[in-house]
């Protein structure tokens, strides 16, 4: 994947944002790096299947942390990686809060998203505990959640 920032620089970047916005405990880049790498692996799988402008360049997937839709997706992967690999609710919650503050999206780190999904102009989008299928894409103001009283719901992309 073509990246406009190395993974080590990305870990520093995220760490500075977390420390600046939520200064409850410093997050060393060295600690974040393993989760950044795990998030980037999953992000590459996702982006390589998305043939959208700005997600591909010369036949390869492309990640630019300054492209806010892409960065919002990355932050969900990062928070999810922290939660899955370490079980650190506090750090995962800080990443979730950073994503919410920067992009006005509500995608909790415990929400399971498919391998291939995307956001496009996601301001105000809320993705709850539902079942999302591959190629699910959500836009501004989207709400995905089970109906009241239902254990789950399924949202899948049209064939």
Q: What is the mean pLDDT of each run of 10 residues along the chain (159 residues)?
A: 94 95 86 96 94 87 95 97 93 96 93 89 81 79 49 44
What pLDDT score was predicted for residue 26?
Answer: 82
For residue 140, the 8-state DSSP code is T
Q: What pTM did the predictor assign? A: 0.87
Of the chain, the end-to-end C-alpha distance in Å amounts to 27
What pLDDT score was predicted for residue 132?
Answer: 80
13 C-beta neighbours (distance < 10 Å), count? 16
Q: Are 128 and 112 in contact (CB under 8 A)?
A: no
What pLDDT score was predicted for residue 144?
Answer: 54
Sign of CA dihedral 67, 52, 108, 145: positive
What pLDDT score was predicted for residue 129?
Answer: 80
What pLDDT score was predicted for residue 141?
Answer: 59
């Amino acid at each position: 994947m073509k990246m406009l920032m190395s993974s080590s620089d990305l870990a520093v970047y995220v760490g500075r944002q977390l420390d600046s916005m939520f200064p409850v405990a410093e997050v060393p880049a060295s600690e974040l790096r393993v989760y950044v790498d795990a998030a980037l692996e999953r992000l590459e799988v996702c982006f390589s299947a998305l043939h959208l402008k700005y997600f591909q360049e010369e036949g390869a997937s492309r990640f630019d942390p300054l492209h806010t839709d892409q960065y919002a997706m990355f932050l969900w992967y990062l928070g999810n990686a922290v939660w899955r690999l370490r079980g650190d609710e506090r750090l995962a919650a800080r990443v979730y809060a950073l994503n919410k503050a920067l992009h006005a999206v509500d995608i909790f780190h415990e929400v399971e998203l498919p391998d291939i999904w995307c956001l496009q102009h996601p301001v105000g989008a809320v993705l709850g505990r539902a079942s999302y299928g591959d190629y699910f894409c959500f836009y501004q103001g989207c709400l995905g959640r089970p109906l009241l009283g239902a254990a789950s719901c399924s949202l899948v992309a049209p064939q």
